Structure 1
């Protein structure tokens, strides 16, 4: 996947645009937030078939499993090159474990921090060193 020549401006505009959007499964959750960032930077939306197709975490995971993916991080890995988190750069996607069941939150790398969509809405950041997986955009 190749970034557009104006990817930095497009990513900044995307993050500004969505920072006030409420969290909603299947409409605007952490995976769709990260996929939207990839779309802003590349023009390619690998989550098109998932948007609006589920309304709960269980429903989203069931849809992923039906398509051969264990988690949304595995979906990202199918479309982006997986890299060690220490090699992630601005605009790459990072996955941070959110529980002991192997679920991940996806976010967008911004230097030493990763921007994530918070379940209560709005954006937050986490340290990139806490990421377990990362994907080159």
Structure 2
């Protein structure tokens, strides 16, 4: 998988189009509507194709994750994108970061934006410090 030549503009347009969208399990969650859609915008490849439309709730999403053989969302993402073994300090603009949470998936995903991570927030886009993440995945 490679980033398209105009990936910075595509990523900007993607973020601009969804930054005011509230979190929703049926399309704008941290995995499909945020991380995977950002990857799709930058590369043209849909890493979440087999998961789209398979869940509408947190419980349903957790079941899909377990059926796919993963205990948590970060391990699921590691099956789709190469992980930085050195950790988040190597992550670059547009890469995907995983933040540990107490939620049903054990992790939340976001888009690396310099020293911050852009996240799918409850009412609109959220921002967290990069160092709140403990895992990061390379896009292209």
**Same-fold call, TM cutoff 0.5:** yes
1:72 deviates by: 2.2
Q: Normalising by the residue count of structure 1, what TM-score does the alignment of the two structures yield?
A: 0.93
**Range 47-56 or range 5-14, more displaced:** 47-56
> CA–CA distance in 2 between the matches of 1:38 and 1:54?
20
Q: Normalising by the residue count of structure 2, what TM-score does the alignment of the two structures yield?
A: 0.91
CA RMSD of aligned residues (A): 1.4
1:130 deviates by: 1.0
1:24 deviates by: 1.1
Hey, what does 1:46 align to over in structure 2?
Answer: 47
* Over 2 Å off, 4+ runs: none
Please state whether the residue corresponding to 2:3 is helix, strand or coil.
coil
Q: Which runs of 5+ in 2 are unaligned?
A: none
> CA–CA distance in 2 between the matches of 1:54 and 1:101?
14
The question of 1:18 aligning with 2:11 is answered no
Please give the per-residue CA displacement for 1:76-131, whole angstroms capped at 9, x wherever unaligned.
Answer: 1112110111110100000001118761110000000000011x221011000110
Hey, what does 2:90 align to over in structure 1?
Answer: 87
Please give the per-residue CA displacement for 1:33-84, whole angstroms capped at 9, x wherever unaligned.
Answer: 1110000011111112222211111110111110112222222111211011
CA contact (8 A) 1:35 1:45 kept: yes
Hey, what does 1:75 align to over in structure 2?
Answer: 76
Between the two proteins, the alignment pairs up a number of residues equal to 136
Hey, what does 1:127 align to over in structure 2?
Answer: 129
